Amino acid sequence: MKSKWRMPHPATMFLLLTMAVVFLSWICDIYGLKVTLPQSGEDIRVQSLLSPEGIRWWLRNAIKNFTGFAPLGMVIIAMFGLGVAQHSGFIDACIRLGVGNRKEKRKVILWVIVLGLLSNVIGDGGYIILLPIAAMLFQWVGLHPIAGIVTAYVSVACGYSANIVLSTMDPLLAHTTQEAALTLMGYQGNTEPLCNYFFMSASTVVITGIVYWVTQKWLLPTLGKYEGSVKVEAYRPLSRKERRAVMVAVTVAGIYVALILWLTFSSYGILRGVNGGLMHSPFIAGILFLLSLGAGFTGMAYGFSSGRYRSDNDVIEGLTQPIKLLGVYFVIAFFAAQMFACFEYSHLDKCLAIMGADLLSSFEPGPLSALILFILFTAFINLIMVSATSKWAFMSFIFIPMFAQMGISPDVTQCAFRIGDSSTNAITPFLFYMPLVLTYMRQYDKQITYGSLLKYTWRYSLCILGAWTLLFIVWYLLKIPMGL
């Protein structure tokens, strides 16, 4: 007998979560729940959203909460360029040229995983750009498109700290680690951006293997064959005109990349920061816009060269094509934005995290046992407070001195934090990009809810957390340096 229980629509789910936050903030405010920030000594008290001030705050900020929702602008900008590249036929041509009719499923899966793990070089761009392309690639080789979205999603989310090159997260965390380490008398250890490089490089290989194994052994058999309404065209070789258009588009892309690199790394260097570095530079701040602009130029070059585009009207049609998909995203994002804003205003996230951190720091286990407990605690807190920089901003001032007393250096503590912080990204409803992921999935199956996504991703998070922690234990016992 079919169960009558079903998860609500993603928009409804975020509305219910908002109501839960409002209720919890009211209860905690009644009991006067408050904590002290370790780095500043400032007291933070839970603010009720049902108080007169809380209601006034929401009425003043309801629209701002939505328009200021962090991923909203990035998603729209990225989708403009991606829309032109897809509408012009450039992405389709690249798939036909690169994959062809060979149906190399294993290579496609591996490429999606590797690109997902490497995508943290451009920050959160992997969530926006890679997921729809992964769905197209999987469907092209006869695999379920939702499997492509899930595989790309867990690779980006759970592998957010792992990479073989420096990512945007490395210098941000290292700066906070250094500030916390300076509170230790006479400390002169390693707190540079590459202080976890060796371990995170090895982690990339381990996570690739875990995601590939779970995808092959469980996800693909579970989803089975896709029989939805979104169809893929039958394979046909590229014509001479299409091949020439691809060459023109690739040439334009090459010139564009060379120009951006010259503007960033040459002596002219207007895309570098005022101090000559890349931290907080226009290049890093605008990387997603630069990628979208490059995709738009490349798509236009292909469209006009292939004859698909004949005027600016065709380009505008390509720019507006993603809006059909984003209509659903806007609805989900509105309710999600209110929930995130209410959660932040109430201070529930900080209070719960600091209370848990204080409780954990009161235990007195051995060094390795303490590190394992710290990884598990971080993985749990990540379910309600996703921002790595926000968590580490106060957790570092609690745990770095605590572990230093056990003889554990700050770079090892930071490494343990990053394992727990990334492993459960894929299963938390508080991830900023959750509305977009659900929107992508509902394009292929209108019945998809957060429960569906959780069903597909919890095994990944559990396996990655277990394997990554085991690698950390071995690394720690062998006393291998964490990084440079």
Is-contact 427 437, C-beta < 8 A? no
Q: What is the pTM of this model?
A: 0.89
Nearby residues of 57 by Cβ (< 8 Å), 6 or more positions away: 49, 345
Which residue did the predictor score with more confidence, 332 or 166? 332
* Mean per-residue pLDDT over the chain, rounded: 88
Residue 469 pLDDT more than 80? yes
Task: Note the pLDDT tens digit of each residue in 217-239.
Answer: 999 999 999 988 888 777 778 88
Q: What is the pLDDT of residue 211?
A: 96
Per the CB < 8 A criterion, the answer to whether 341 and 16 are in contact is no
> Is residue 417 over pLDDT 90?
yes
pLDDT band at residue 376, thresholds of 50, 70 and 90? very high
Distance CA 99, CA 118 (A): 21
Please give the pLDDT value at position 163: 84
Sign of the dihedral defined by the CA atoms of residues 417, 418, 421, 424, in that order = negative
Top pLDDT among 168 and 102 is at 168
Instruction: Using only the alpha carbons of the chain, give its radius of gyration.
Output: 24
Could you give the percent of the chain with pLDDT greater than 90?
47
Kindly state the average pLDDT of the residues 378-383: 92
Cα angle 178-184-188, degrees, rounded to a multiple of 5: 60
Per-residue confidence (pLDDT) for residue 169, from 0 to 100: 81
Would you list the domain boundaries of the chain? 8-476
- Please answer whether residues 21 and 342 qualify as being in contact, where contact means their C-beta atoms are separated by less than 8 angstroms: yes
Rounded percentage of the chain residues whose pLDDT exceeds 70:
96
**DSSP secondary structure string for all residues of 144-193:** -HHHHHHHHHHHHHHTTT--SS--SHHHHHHHHHHHHHTTSTT-----ST
Confidence of residue 6 (pLDDT cuts 50, 70, 90): low
Give CA torsion, residues 196, 202, 205, 209, to 10 deg.
-100
Amino acid sitting at position 396:
S
Q: What is the mean pLDDT of residues 320-327?
A: 80
Place of tokens 């001032």: 397
pLDDT tens digits, 236-288: 788 899 999 999 999 999 999 999 999 988 888 888 887 777 767 888 888 88
Q: Of 302 and 407, which is predicted with more confidence? A: 302
Q: The tokens of 280 are what? A: 């907080």
HSE, CB side, 13 Å, CA atoms: give it for residue 310.
1
Inform me whether the pLDDT recorded for 2 exceeds 60: no
> What is the average pLDDT across 186-191?
63
pLDDT of residue 350: 82
Which whole number is the average pLDDT over 460-482? 95
**Is residue 166 predicted with pLDDT exceeding 90?**
no
DSSP helix/strand/coil, 309: coil
